[in-house]
Amino acid sequence: MFFAGYDRVMGSFHESIKPDLIEWIERQRMFFVATAPLQANGHVNVSPKGLDSFRVIDENTVAYLDLTGSGAETIAHLRENGRITIMFCAFEGKPQIVRLFGTGHATHPGDEGWEEAAALFPEYTSARSVVTVEVHRVGSSCGFGVPLMEVVSDRDRLLTWADAKGSDQMPAYWANKNSTSIDGLPALS
């Protein structure tokens, strides 16, 4: 079936991120990160991400700046098994969904490579890691069921909370709130 103006009606898969998708990804205002533990009864995690926190490094490598949150599921799952999917969906313009399937790892402040990874992004007090993903499969589909929405603005609550706390208090927060996942897997040490 073909609808005029839509070249991705049926899903397609690729082994790398094609240039037209790189351009489209770079225009998106938010994305979702999904990970899961190996244990069958473990909790699958999906996290929305925003702000200026995503970069396409090359056709098979992406990175995002992981900001402090109330949990650390993604980091725990990556430590355990590395599996990750990042999803973008168009909330304006032509409908489209893009999923980046891959394996990832987190680089934390003080780790080798932190300065280089963090330099890709604006400086945020709440930055707790840069997640780098080696993409092995890219899925693109129509997104006809995704609603059209307008962005009013970015929320600044996370940034003002972190700035008020200060970078010197972040490690204590991470130790208290982000040391394990809800399934008890180690996250931030």
Residue 81: inside a domain, yes or no?
yes
- Which pLDDT score is estimated for 113? 97
- Which pLDDT score is estimated for 189? 82
Residue 46: inside a domain, yes or no?
yes
Which pTM was predicted? 0.92
Q: What digits encode the pLDDT tens for the residues 117-141? A: 999 999 999 999 999 999 999 999 9
We report the CATH number of the domain holding residue 87 as 2.30.110.10
Q: What digits encode the pLDDT tens for the residues 141-159? A: 999 999 999 999 999 999 9
- Which pLDDT score is estimated for 10? 59
- Which pLDDT score is estimated for 60? 98
Residue 44: inside a domain, yes or no?
yes
Domain residue limits at 88:
12-143+154-177
Report whether 34 contacts 99 (CB < 8 A): no
Residue 69: inside a domain, yes or no?
yes
Ranges of residues in the chain with a pLDDT under 70 are 1-10
SS3 content of the chain, % helix, strand, coil (to 5): 20, 35, 45
Residue 189: inside a domain, yes or no?
no
In the chain, the number of structural domains is 1
- Which pLDDT score is estimated for 11? 85
Give the span between the Cα atoms of 90 and 105, in whole angstroms: 26
